[in-house]
């Protein structure tokens, strides 16, 4: 799937190799920084166009919002389509998007949204409630259209548009995410022509019709995605003349391009890259608490909703003692100190500490600490004892050898994989690190034992919890579901259903914490770290830009479109006011929002896929 991932090697030890690699990278960057790296700004092309170029390391999986699951893809969709609601750049509270207000009935089973009258599609047609109703109804009735975001509409009973400005959603039972429906609304007049939503990638006809702050004008696989400002966007047009997401498979190449002024922004920096860029002229490094987790995922036995099993996951991982042994043999502190070099927080629960209301940590008796002796005892209890050669073998004589999926572009995966080969090797376990450019294919096929996993988590955790429900499994082995790694646990599902319908914030938070506790105890996921968002941009190209949240927030992978919409070119005088804002500046929006008493809900996330994460 779209996670993050792994490594290998011989002598010297993995620790020495990791330190050598980090040192070499630092020396290379320092040497590069010593040369004429900061020429005149290159934000303007020969034709006078002011271009904002963002380096990305993730491949677009689909330009269809019905299918897209990767962070880069959902970022694209936030730029070109409006959701019903958005999230304030200051503190993530729900604010108007395509809808100007929303109100529940007393029993909270019917929600009425007022659709704004000043939103138009880029082809000139009016965006209406009918577009929203069609989008949701298509997801409710077409399995292919529900691939990415089906969990949002699973509880919908009926969706209608009584008028161009009125959308009515009837629910089967209360749903606490109704101000956080992270679903791009599509233009019906364009999309109803599509035949097979499960196969349509929306990547053949440009420009793509949308109503967001940008219009997608061109796309080349693993090369670039190009946008121009939507001059008719109701919130105001972006200030740059062009936005380009430019693909770099190699992180060092992206950093070099940033140093030369060929790109304006780069994210997912290594500690060595960040340290070097912090000393460079005209470059600002942003090191903020992250909204994602970095985990080790095990294959629990790939299966589909029709009950069929597939893939080739190692059967030993079906034993909880084996999973617990692997986690007890993984030193999180070393990962934080040696790999992330302090640019991360040690992992515990599923929701990062940035979202304090939902963050959970195991108690002392429940916590699986780094304890190789305990790991060895658990393996003995599970029936995997060492033979004369020091290898762990089962009763069938089969050695305990695992494969782990790793993203080839992720240096963290590779470094951690080397440590794990050493730690687990001392226990008699073999580990092959499969570093691939495309981890999605073997992941979806269930052809893996373990994988480095990572997801961006939004303020409302509903979506990132839904990917571990039985409902997220693929319908058949040939289909693609919304599942992360095929987890299907009845107790987890019961808790998920309860939290979805709970409007009391404290009670809902408690249920979410119980879900994390259950996920922890089943042992299918081991959250190792919460990485910081380490990124940088050129101040001679970008004069001002908005972080999210306002205090200590990130730029890449936001819950809204604030960073790129607000970015002000370095040479622009913005004193007259406009769409841009300085870093961390609150974007003023005056509006009336009618919410159920005590309801404070935000949004959910998406997926994965490279050196950064899945969203």
Distance CA 21, CA 27 (A): 10
- Residue 114 Cα to chain centre, angstroms: 30
Q: Which of 602, 533, 505 is nearest to 90 (CA)?
A: 602
| Cα angle value 17/19/22 (rounded, 5°) | 110
Model pTM?
Answer: 0.80
Estimate the share of the chain in helix, then strand, then coil, as percent rounded to the nearest 5: 25, 20, 50
pLDDT at 331: 98
pLDDT at 579: 39
Query: Is the separation of the CB atoms in 25 and 273 below 8 Å?
Result: yes
Distance CA 483, CA 474 (A): 7
pLDDT at 588: 32
pLDDT at 23 > cutoff 70: no
Centre a 10 Å sphere on the Cβ of residue 444 and count the other Cβ atoms it contains: 20
Compare 434 and 573 and report the one with higher pLDDT. 434
Compare 600 and 324 and report the one with higher pLDDT. 324
pLDDT digits (tens, 9 = 90+) for 128-149: 999 999 999 999 999 999 999 9
Distance CA 86, CA 99 (A): 9
Compare 470 and 481 and report the one with higher pLDDT. 470
pLDDT at 593: 36
pLDDT at 607 > cutoff 70: no
pLDDT digits (tens, 9 = 90+) for 546-575: 999 988 899 999 989 999 999 999 986 554
Task: Name the DSSP class of 475.
Answer: S
Q: Are strands 542-544 and 292-298 parallel, antiparallel or unpaired?
A: unpaired
Q: Is residue 166 very low, low, confident or very high in pLDDT (cuts 50, 70, 90)?
A: very high
pLDDT at 203 > cutoff 60: yes
For CA atoms 161, 163, 167, 173, give the dihedral sign.
negative
pLDDT at 437 > cutoff 70: yes
Tokens of 39: 């020429």
Distance CA 134, CA 33 (A): 53
Average pLDDT, the chain: 87
Q: Is residue 46 very low, low, confident or very high in pLDDT (cuts 50, 70, 90)?
A: low
Phi, psi at residue 297, to the nearest 5°? -110, 140
Burial of 263 (0-12, 13-18, 19+ CB in 10 A): buried
Distance CA 566, CA 291 (A): 21
pLDDT digits (tens, 9 = 90+) for 54-105: 999 999 999 999 999 899 999 999 999 999 999 999 988 999 999 999 999 9
Instruction: List the single range of 176-180, 563-567, 585-589 with lowest mean pLDDT.
Output: 585-589
pLDDT at 296 > cutoff 90: yes
């Amino acid at each position: 799937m779209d996670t993050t991932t792994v490594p290998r090697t011989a002598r010297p030890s993995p620790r020495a190799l990791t330190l050598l690699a980090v040192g070499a990278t630092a020396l290379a960057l320092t040497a590069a920084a010593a040369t004429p790296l900061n020429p005149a700004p290159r934000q303007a092309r020969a034709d006078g166009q002011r271009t904002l170029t963002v380096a990305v390391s993730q491949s677009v999986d689909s330009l269809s919002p019905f299918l897209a699951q990767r962070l880069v893809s959902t970022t694209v969709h936030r730029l070109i389509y409006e959701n019903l609601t958005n999230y304030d750049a200051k503190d993530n509270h729900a604010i108007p998007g395509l809808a100007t207000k929303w109100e529940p009935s007393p029993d909270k089973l019917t929600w009425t949204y007022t659709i704004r009258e000043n939103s138009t599609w880029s082809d000139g047609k009016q965006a209406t409630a009918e577009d929203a109703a069609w989008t949701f109804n298509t997801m409710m009735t077409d399995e292919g259209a529900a691939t990415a975001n089906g969990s949002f509409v699973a509880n919908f009973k009926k969706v209608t548009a009584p008028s161009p400005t009125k959308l009515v959603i009837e629910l089967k039972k209360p749903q606490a995410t109704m101000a956080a429906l992270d679903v791009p609304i599509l233009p019906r007049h364009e999309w109803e022509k599509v035949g097979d939503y499960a196969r349509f990638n929306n990547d053949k006809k440009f420009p793509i019709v949308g109503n967001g702050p940008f219009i997608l004008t061109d796309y080349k696989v693993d090369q670039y995605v190009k946008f121009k400002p939507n001059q008719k966007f109701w919130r105001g047009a972006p200030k740059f003349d062009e936005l380009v997401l430019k693909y770099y498979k190699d992180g060092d190449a992206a950093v070099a391009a940033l140093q030369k002024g060929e790109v304006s922004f780069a994210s997912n920096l290594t500690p060595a890259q960040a340290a070097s860029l912090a000393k460079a002229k005209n470059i600002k490094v942003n090191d903020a608490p992250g909204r994602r987790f970095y985990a080790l995922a095990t294959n629990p036995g790939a299966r589909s909703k029709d009950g069929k099993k597939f893939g080739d996951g190692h059967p030993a991982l079906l034993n909880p003692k084996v999973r617990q042994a692997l986690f007890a043999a993984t030193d999180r502190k070393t990962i934080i100190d040696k790999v992330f070099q302090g640019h991360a927080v040690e992992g515990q629960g599923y929701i990062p500490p940035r979202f304090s209301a939902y963050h959970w940590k195991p108690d002392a008796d429940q916590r699986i600490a780094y304890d190789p002796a305990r790991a060895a005892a658990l393996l003995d209890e599970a029936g995997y004892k060492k033979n004369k050669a020091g290898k762990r073998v089962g009763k069938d004589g089969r050695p305990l050898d695992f494969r782990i999926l790793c993203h080839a572009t992720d240096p963290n995966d590779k470094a951690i994989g080397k440590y794990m080969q050493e730690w687990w090797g001392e226990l008699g376990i073999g580990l092959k690190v499969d570093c691939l450019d495309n981890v999605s294919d073997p992941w979806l096929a269930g052809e893996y034992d373990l994988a480095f996993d990572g997801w961006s988590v939004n303020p409302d955790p509903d979506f990132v919890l839904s990917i571990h429900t039985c409902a997220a499994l693929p319908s058949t082995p040939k289909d693609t579901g919304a599942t992360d790694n095929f987890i299907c646990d009845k107790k987890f599902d019961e808790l998920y259903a309860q939290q979805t319908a709970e409007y009391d914030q404290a009670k809902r938070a408690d249920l979410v914490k119980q879900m994390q506790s259950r996920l922890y105890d089943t042992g299918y996921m081991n959250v190792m770290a919460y990485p910081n968002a380490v990124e940088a941009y050129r101040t001679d190209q970008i004069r001002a830009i908005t972080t999210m949240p306002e205090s200590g927030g990130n730029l890449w992978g936001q819950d809204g479109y604030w960073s790129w919409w607000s970015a002000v070119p370095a040479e622009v005088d913005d004193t007259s006011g406009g769409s841009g804002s300085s870093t961390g500046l609150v974007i003023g929006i005056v509006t009336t929002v009618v919410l159920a008493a005590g309801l404070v809900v935000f949004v959910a996330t998406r997926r994965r896929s490279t050196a950064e994460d899945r969203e």
